[in-house]
Amino acid sequence: MSKLWVLGNGQLGAMLKHAGESLNVEVIPLEIDGDEPLALDVNDVVTAEREHWPDSATTEQLFQHPNFKSHRAFTVIADRLSEKQLFDRLALPTAPWSALSSDSTEVDLYAVLGSSIVLKRRSGGYDGKGQQWLRKSACDVIPQDWRGQAIAEQAIGFDEEISLVGARSALGELVFYPLTLNFHQEGILLASIAPLDRLQRYQAQAEAMLATLMTDLDYVGVLAMECFRVGDQLMINEVAPRVHNSGHWTMNGASMSQFSLHVSAVMGLPVHQPKTNDISVMINILGLEWEPRWISVPNATVYWYDKEVLSGRKLGHINLNIKSATELDASLAMLKGLLSERYDVMFDWLDKNLFKLS
């Protein structure tokens, strides 16, 4: 059985492992702080489920392995500065930005980027962490210790947030899922819907952007691209060189999940264009205790990550796969009583976006 080592041992690693089982691949997710030498064979393959990691014997050994897939992409994408430079070099639309240097002033940044700015640390951020606003109206101040460590980005008044998950094989074959509509709250993904007929008109534009990136990086595996939609224009927010939360719906809504697709692509197994089934809704379970009644929600599949329950933490997700508005109503009516108040806005968002033609 061929072996795929995974840098990182969170829920994405667990889902990759599960996918590997039916593809005859032994997937081995690893804690990032290990200090024991690993028994890696030169023919084994290595991938990652995260883009930031501390230096440890394990991360060093995995990242330096000759079969660590898409090594360069990780180096470029892990730092928001080189990531933004990549978008600019490839002429891919992205939110206007500047590096936050030791002599940047608030006045200069407002002059270049407008009066509402998001400061983002160059590395280590996730789920909206490592970000803060810089607003002229609030007289915000640049934090001293962010200088040289962050970028400044124009706040975008987007219409909505969408993402594209795609994959490239070692032969250069490209496959894509349909665009996913995402709902974030305080920087954290709360829910996704895919596919949506009304997003089809942006599919070609998004695929061309992601194809440009994957080809330039000589990328192999699944890559996710998060975009803002502003009118008819897509603008890349960021990309992730891995399987992605906004692709979790593919576990129930597609003929091949993003996890199977990633394992196949990095292992040199055949990849094919996944077929999509009906409409999927993915809801993240954030900071809630395990609730067995989730399992009885019609059309739902529950994924629980078995992590310590902490406020706001991603602890699992629920996939709903539905054919009709009637089916959806039954699922949502029951789910409403089983989640917390923070989800009220999400239910409104789902109501607005599902089975509506506009």
Token duo for residue 326: 């009637």
Are 307 and 11 spatial neighbours (Cβ–Cβ below 8 Å)? yes
To ligand ATP, the closest distance from the beta carbon of 246 in angstroms equals 8
Nearest Cα to Cα of residue 248 among 216, 282, 273: 282
Q: Which is nearer to Mg ion, 189 or 271 (CB)?
A: 189
Per-residue buried b or exposed e for 195-221, using 16+ beta carbons within 10 Å of the residue's own CB: bbeebeebbebbbebbeebbeebebbb
- Are the C-beta atoms of 266 and 220 separated by less than 8 Å? yes
Indicate the residue among 159 and 218 with the shorter CB distance to Mg ion: 159
Tell me how far the alpha carbon of residue 16 is from its chain's centroid: 15
Looking at the Cβ atoms of 49 and 226, the one nearer to Mg ion is 226
Q: What is residue 33's three-state secondary structure?
A: coil
* Among the residue ranges 19-27, 120-128, 278-286, 310-318, the one whose residues contact ligand ATP (CB under 6 A): 120-128
The answer to the question of residue 238 lying near ligand ATP (CB under 6 A) is: yes
Question: Distance (Å, rounded) from C-alpha 195 to C-alpha 275?
Answer: 11
Q: Which stretch binds ligand ATP (CB under 6 A): 6-14, 29-37, 122-130, 140-148?
A: 122-130
For 206-233, the DSSP string reads HHHHHHHHHHHTT--EEEEEEEEEETTE
For the CB of residue 165, give the shortest distance to ligand ATP in the complex, in Å. 13
CB nearer ligand ATP, residue 126 or residue 347: 126
Which residue lies nearer to ligand ATP by CB, 95 or 266?
95
Residue 266 belongs to what H/E stretch? helix 258-267
3-state SS record for 236-251: EEEEECCCCHHHCCHH
Query: Which one among 32, 86, 118, 217 touches ligand ATP, defined by CB under 6 A?
Result: 118
Do 271 and 261 meet the contact criterion of CB atoms below 8 Å apart?
yes
Tell me which stretch binds ligand ATP (CB under 6 A): 60-68, 85-93, 140-148, 155-163. 155-163
- Shortest distance in whole angstroms from residue 266 CB to ligand ATP: 21
Query: Residue 149 CB, nearest distance to Mg ion (Å)?
Result: 18
Region binding ligand ATP by CB under 6 A among candidate stretches 14-22, 126-134, 291-299, 343-351: 126-134
Q: Of the ranges 153-161, 254-262, 299-307, 322-330, which one interacts with ligand ATP (CB under 6 A)?
A: 153-161
C-beta closer to ligand ATP: residue 54 or 157: 157
Q: Between residue 213 and residue 232, which ones bind ligand ATP under the rule CB under 6 A?
A: 226
User: Among ligand ATP, Mg ion, none, what does residue 95 contact (CB within 5–8 Å per kind)?
Assistant: ligand ATP
- Please state whether beta strands 314-322 and 2-7 pair in parallel, antiparallel, or not at all (unpaired): unpaired
Is 179 an interacting residue with respect to ligand ATP (CB under 6 A)? no
Length of the chain: 358
C-alpha pair distances (Å), 78 with each of 56, 72, 82, 93, 126 = 17, 10, 8, 19, 11
| Helix H or strand E segment including 325 | helix 325-336
The binder of 184, among ligand ATP, Mg ion, none, by C-beta within 5 to 8 A per type, is ligand ATP
- Show the tokens assigned to 30: 């690893």
Q: Residue of minimal CB distance from Mg ion? A: 226
- Kindly list the residues in this chain that would bind ligand ATP in the complex (CB under 6 A): 95, 118, 120, 125-129, 153, 155-156, 161, 184, 187, 226, 237-238
- Kindly list the residues in this chain that would bind Mg ion in the complex (CB under 5 A): 226
